[in-house]
Amino acid sequence: MEAHLLAWFSDHGRDLPWRRARDPYCILVSEVMLQQTQVPRVIPRYGAWIERWPTAQALAAAPRAEVIRAWQGLGYNRRAVNLHRAAQMVAAEGWPDDLTRLSGVGEYTAAAVRRFALGEPVLPVDTNIRRVLDRTGGDFGPEAAAALMDLGATVCLARIPRCDECPLADACPSRGSRYEPLRKQTRFEGSFRQRRADALRLVAAGRSSGFDSEVVASLERDGLVKVENGRVSLPA
């Protein structure tokens, strides 16, 4: 199975800018950006980010306000704060042996950095890879990590997989299956998350008052804003 997958990947693998990087910082930036954000939106933002802050040390030295402003439009702004904190830890102490010590880094992200930047023999299992593993029952090694990601993202789709295009179809026990969505996506329009995003955007633009106190308290807990004398601003 793996040989067929790797042959397919050599012809159909996505040309993504972070795949040309071996710096753990670059891989970490890409993985954090890709959390809950689609690849086409991430590609230009990743390039701009690395051009502006090419190293963990450069990002660590940046004011958090600039980091938050640069993240605007990617969503889930707490990720910007976590990435900034992680860079500060790396700048101060170097890369830890246990990458999950870095702010916002869980087991999957740690494994992705170890595999794609450090070349370690681990298989990072994200949603796409888990789907392929579960459906095919295949036994794949770390060398197939990027191929599994691309197969899950472009062929072995969540609801209606494109089995006719799949290099593993002949041996796949799930060929031809269709799937119900696991859960409904919560609406963004009118949600508390939207109110947070709107408020943060206004704060980044210079507005300092007139916000919902619950929203401000939530943003402050996440390190996205500071409140002094009743005025709201981005953290220094």
C-alpha distances out from residue 98 to 60, 90, 109, Å: 19, 12, 12
> CB count, 10 Å around CB of 91?
15
Instruction: Supply φ then ψ for residue 119, to 5 degrees.
Output: 70, 20
Angle at 221 between CA 215 and CA 225, to 5 degrees: 70
Residues in the chain: 236
Secondary structure class of 227 (helix, strand, coil): strand
Instruction: Supply φ then ψ for residue 117, to 5 degrees.
Output: -105, -40
Token reading at 211: 């916000």
Q: Is 214 considered catalytic here?
A: no
Instruction: Supply φ then ψ for residue 214, to 5 degrees.
Output: -65, -40
CB 36 within 8 A of CB 75: yes
Residue in 2, 31, 51, 66 annotated catalytic: 31
DSSP 40-89: HHHHHHHHHHHHH--SHHHHHHS-HHHHHHHHTTSS-THHHHHHHHHHHH
CA-CA-CA-CA torsion sign (44, 22, 4, 109): negative
Residues annotated as part of the active site: 31
